[in-house]
Structure 1
């Protein structure tokens, strides 16, 4: 018989999306643990009614998704744990496929699949998320928030790093790989995610959070051999900060130097020709400014030795 699976769902004020998430897990897992992070929309009560074991985080302590995942993990007992964000719906057949793969390969700690956006056509920002989720099949360096994991392996490396406000999954996967475990991306439908990003301000905050994660990840694990997020951070700082400052300084000395700003549309053209998507290319270049801002936020916070504040985009 197959080993049982517990599910850990985290969320805050997800409303109908949470109900759909919990319903998609019914009958597929042994137990559902829902970790609520200060919801005011009745999510905790709705989850109890749906049969979930509800954990209410103490919001007197700084909240992070990593802290919520660890709180759920502490309630699990099954050898495999399916982590799911509360705005996602698990696809039919995924639990059995992931469970079977973990049972067949005892060297794997994590199995993930294809996360898709529910409505990529609703906004360019949703479509960008859908592109982001389309990662290569096979051996992987990291997973996202939705993944099935071998409980013993996660516990052995200390679980998620709770003070990370973003990038907690790559951080966990890095430590798992260092301990000799593998991460695998299956060619299978895993979850449907509802980003529901309709405004550029929401996309900007989400991208700025990524820049913060790049800076913190590089600070923690940027040394060889991992060089964790060093390349991503370098690109953000060069394109989003270094080049604009240099061009501005050059223009103050000799105003025709502003023509150097054409390097940005040229980069958009280069990326679009390579990737075949003008929207993705445009926002990839624009996003470097947001990422640089997020990295600066991390460096300022570290210099001041202040507590990290969550960067929410919705």
Structure 2
């Protein structure tokens, strides 16, 4: 009989409040070790984590916060180092059967370095922004290029690739997965429910800021790994910058010259809607969601430009928060 693997969980958060309490509650009786890493919370997060029996790590306030830095700190606090580490965000609850499912996959397939599953929004109908996030989480199962921050990782693999890059402020999970794959390990998604996420996005401004952060991630991770997010960056430049500039030029000549530019936006919108319907989304929702996905190229562009401005100015890559 194969011995049960040693599994620890690293939870990261900042002012998650009730979401953190629910996250930690979902882990009770599932794993023996929980580390909570706090990035300067001003609510009751620290006490809530201690009350739940978690080991608490408080990040140094003098160093810029990043999710990557927090996850590395959580891993460093694990003594002794377990066989597998489950990383989750403090606004997520772990599904009851996930830990066993993820561990079984890693035990049966020694070539898998990271295993993940499906994340779902806990309140997808609370707002269109939550619904957008729910659609974003559902991706095909099997071997994948990258996954989100909810993942189970072999501790030996984590150590071999030196963990997360603490300077990457968005899409740090993508960047980590890329290096794991380049070290010849598989990144695999199981077709099972893994976590419930509480995005709590109720305002347009929150969605916009999240899209700005995504654009920053496209640029920063793309600078480290040019092949990754290439199509995403190209779409942002075309639909967020080039076509608007062409529209301004066209208007200065004749309003009729504006029609081809608008036509390209319409084609892109229709292509996005068809893609969403092909993935199983109801037509009405697909048509609605496509508006925001098309619009997202503009905040994405702001994120791209923010990254390049920071590089030019040699300033810190400060986190971009949306809630």
Pairwise TM-score range, normalised by the shorter structure = over 0.9
**In the alignment, what sits opposite 2:44?**
42
Contact 2:168 2:221 in 1 (8 A): no
SS at match of 1:25: coil
**In the alignment, what sits opposite 2:143?**
139
Paired with 1:78 and 1:240, the residues of 2 have a C-alpha distance of 45
Contact 2:13 2:91 in 1 (8 A): yes
Instruction: Describe the superposition over 1:68-116 as per-residue Cα deviations: whole angstroms up to 9, x where unpaired.
Output: 0000010122110000100000001100110111111111111100100
Matched, 1:311 2:320: yes
Instruction: Describe the superposition over 1:245-296 as per-residue Cα deviations: whole angstroms up to 9, x where unpaired.
Output: 1111121133332333243234223322342311221111101111111111
**In the alignment, what sits opposite 1:57?**
59
**In the alignment, what sits opposite 1:288?**
297
Give structure 2 stretches of 5+ with no counterpart. Answer: 278-285
Paired with 2:272 and 2:44, the residues of 1 have a C-alpha distance of 45
**In the alignment, what sits opposite 2:243?**
243
Point out 4+ residue stretches in structure 1 off by more than 6 angstroms.
Answer: none
Paired with 2:197 and 2:248, the residues of 1 have a C-alpha distance of 41
Matched, 1:186 2:190: yes
Paired with 2:274 and 2:90, the residues of 1 have a C-alpha distance of 36
Q: Which moved more, 1:299-308 or 1:148-157?
A: 299-308
Instruction: Describe the superposition over 1:124-172 as per-residue Cα deviations: whole angstroms up to 9, x where unpaired.
Output: 1101100110011011111111111101101110100001110111111
What does 1:100-115 correspond to in 2, within 5 Å?
100-115=104-119
Matched, 1:12 2:14: yes
Paired with 1:180 and 1:264, the residues of 2 have a C-alpha distance of 40
Matched, 1:219 2:223: yes
Q: State the number of aligned residues.
A: 310
**CA RMSD, Structure 1 to Structure 2 (Å):** 1.1
Paired with 2:321 and 2:171, the residues of 1 have a C-alpha distance of 13
Give structure 1 stretches of 5+ with no counterpart. Answer: none
SS at match of 2:296: helix
The one of 159, 170, 179 equivalent to 1:155 is 159
